[in-house]
Amino acid sequence: MVHLKQNSYQEYLKLKAKVGVLQRNQRNLLGEDLAELSTKELEQLEHQLDKSLRQIRSIKTQHMLDQLADLQRKEEMLLESNRALKAKLEESCATLRQQWDVEAAQNNPTPYARQSNEDFFEPLPCNNNSPPNGYNVATQDHLNNATTSTHNDNNNGFTPAWLL
């Protein structure tokens, strides 16, 4: 029993010393308590930090490459899905067009005859010298002057929307 206690105590002291060394190393890695280190210990610390940074960068790069490959796979899946949806849409549009054409042919067996603009529009008789009944001559002159001035002010060749 005494021997067991003595072994446990020695193990405790070893572990306590290891904890102290690890805490000192951690402080050194964080840039603390560097004044008491020798040149050789500082070089070892620098080498350890460089090695750790290379490992971290390597892991980070690998992680980014994995993410990039995953995103490329997702992009390809989305493009394929988009192609399939586009084909399905074109197919349904073609079916609808055919149905509309059939319905139009059934409802109106003769094709639409286009009328010329001359047949469709009938010119109204107009006398430019006298205003239409109910118009004030002064108001008509004011409107004519306003449109003329806007046309003269408009250098870019476009008619303002309010005149249309």
162 vs 91, more confident: 91
pLDDT band at 9 (very low <50, low <70, confident <90, very high): very high
Cα separations in angstroms, 51 against 34, 41, 60: 19, 15, 14
- Has residue 98 been placed in a domain? yes
Can you give the pTM of this predicted structure? 0.45
Is 77 a residue whose pLDDT tops 80? yes
Name the domain count of the chain.
1
**Averaged over 8-31, what is the pLDDT?**
94
- Among 37-41, 103-107, 112-116, the least confident range: 112-116
**pLDDT for 150:** 47
**pLDDT for 67:** 98
Q: How far is it, in rounded angstroms, from Cα 37 to Cα 46?
A: 12
**pLDDT for 106:** 85
- Has residue 73 been placed in a domain? yes
For residue 60, the enclosing domain spans 47-104
- What rounded mean pLDDT belongs to the chain? 80
Q: Could you tell me what percent of the chain has a pLDDT over 90?
A: 50
